[in-house]
Amino acid sequence: MTSPTKCVLLACGSFNPVTNMHLRMFEIAKDALHKTQKFSVIKGIISPVSDAYNKKDLLPASHRCEMLKLALKSSNWINMDTWECEQSKWTETAKVLKYHQSKIDRESNTRSKPAPTKKRRKDLRNVHINSNDSEFDDMSVDDHNAINEALKKDSVNVRLLCGADLLESFGTPGLWADKDIEDIVGKYGLVCITREGSDPRKFIYESDVLTKYQENIIIVTEWIFNDISSTKIRRALRRGESVKYLIQDIVIDYIRDNHLYGVEDNFRQGMFQHRQVENQ
């Protein structure tokens, strides 16, 4: 059996604020990919969108990143990357994928670049190296083939991880460039988690380009249904309702301490009482 492809899951979004479902999405996808035995998930990346996205009620990236940093303390394999939100302009998701794929390719090339010693050169006949290196010009075709195979096996595939609503937004006129959609599904691939009110399989069936690259789209049905969304969290906060067990406690504390999402007045009404009681 061929060895599994190493895979990095990249989730783009507002994370305004990060919810437990954003974090669950990674766990659900990782389990599903490992079950196929075709992929080995080595890392998760969360890339918050920049302030230039200008979405209604979008908090500054500084707050969104701080909340992500706190929430991600509970994970040992998902990291936040701030490259996208540090850009002064909004960056298309296809470009974010390209940035991360290139970065990972560069890092793995640097790691595998051999030192020019005879022993090292011998060792490298069975592992990945930069086969364009002139130092290896005298290698046989078999050597090169073996090396290219090893390189392929070792290459890392960055995939977009998203909920079905994001996949279905591909169909919103003018929102995504056709070339970007083709790149996302054709070059990188996509893992899509089902979400209330969406039918990703039907959506793929109705799209020519998604059907063409169907094998690169992995739909994961989330049976433990949980339709948390940042919109619902913001609404609950505004109304002074509890959001405990929907987002991380440490994020609730940050929201309270920084008076975000209009909680200032609600705080006085006792919405964060559970934390005060706990702390007494």
Ligand X SMILES: Nc1ncnc2c1ncn2[C@@H]1O[C@H](COP(=O)(O)OP(=O)(O)OP(=O)(O)O)[C@@H](O)[C@H]1O
Ligand Y SMILES: NC(=O)c1ccc[n+]([C@@H]2O[C@H](COP(=O)(O)O)[C@@H](O)[C@H]2O)c1
> What kind and span of H or E run contains 10?
strand 5-13
Binding of residue 248 to ligand X (CB under 6 A): no
Give least dist CB 253 to ligand Y, A. 23
For residues 113 and 129, what is the distance between their CA atoms, to the nearest angstrom?
Answer: 6
Binding of residue 227 to ligand X (CB under 6 A): yes
Give least dist CB 12 to ligand Y, A. 3
Number of H helices, E strands in the chain: 14, 6
Judged by CB under 6 A, the residue of 97, 162, 220, 243 near ligand X is 162
Our CA dihedral for 237, 239, 245, 251, rounded to 10 degrees, sits at 10
Binding of residue 163 to ligand X (CB under 6 A): yes
Residue 189 binds: one of ligand X, ligand Y, none (C-beta under 5 to 8 A by kind): none
For ligand Y, give the closer residue by CB, 94 or 204. Answer: 94
Stretch in the footprint of ligand Y (CB under 6 A) among 104-112, 174-182, 212-220, 241-249? 174-182
Stretch in the footprint of ligand Y (CB under 6 A) among 8-16, 141-149, 220-228, 266-274? 8-16
For residues 4 and 33, what is the distance between their CA atoms, to the nearest angstrom?
Answer: 10
Residue located via tokens 């992995």: 218
Binding of residue 14 to ligand Y (CB under 6 A): yes
Cβ partners under 8 Å of residue 215, min gap 6: none
Considering only residues 23 through 82, tell me which ones interact with ligand Y, judged by CB under 6 A: 49, 53, 55
> What kind and span of H or E run contains 1?
none
CA-nearest of 10, 20, 21, 24 to 250 is: 20
Residue 231 binds: one of ligand X, ligand Y, none (C-beta under 5 to 8 A by kind): ligand X
Residue 93 binds: one of ligand Y, ligand X, none (C-beta under 5 to 8 A by kind): ligand Y
Q: x/- string (CB under 6 A) for ligand X, residues 168-207? A: -------------------------x-x------------
Judged by CB under 6 A, the residue of 7, 9, 10, 14 near ligand X is 14
Residue 219 binds: one of ligand X, ligand Y, none (C-beta under 5 to 8 A by kind): none
Residue 180 binds: one of ligand Y, ligand X, none (C-beta under 5 to 8 A by kind): ligand Y
CB 159 within 8 A of CB 193: no
Give least dist CB 58 to ligand X, A. 8
For residues 13 and 91, what is the distance between their CA atoms, to the nearest angstrom?
Answer: 11
Our CA dihedral for 58, 198, 180, 82, rounded to 10 degrees, sits at 30
Return the number of other C-beta atoms located less than 10 Å from residue 131's C-beta.
16
SS3 percent helix, strand, coil of the chain, rounded to 5, is: 55, 15, 30
Binding site for ligand X (CB under 6 A): 11, 13-16, 19, 21-22, 25, 162-163, 165-166, 193, 195, 226-231
Binding site for ligand Y (CB under 6 A): 12-14, 49, 53, 55, 92-94, 166, 169, 175-176, 180
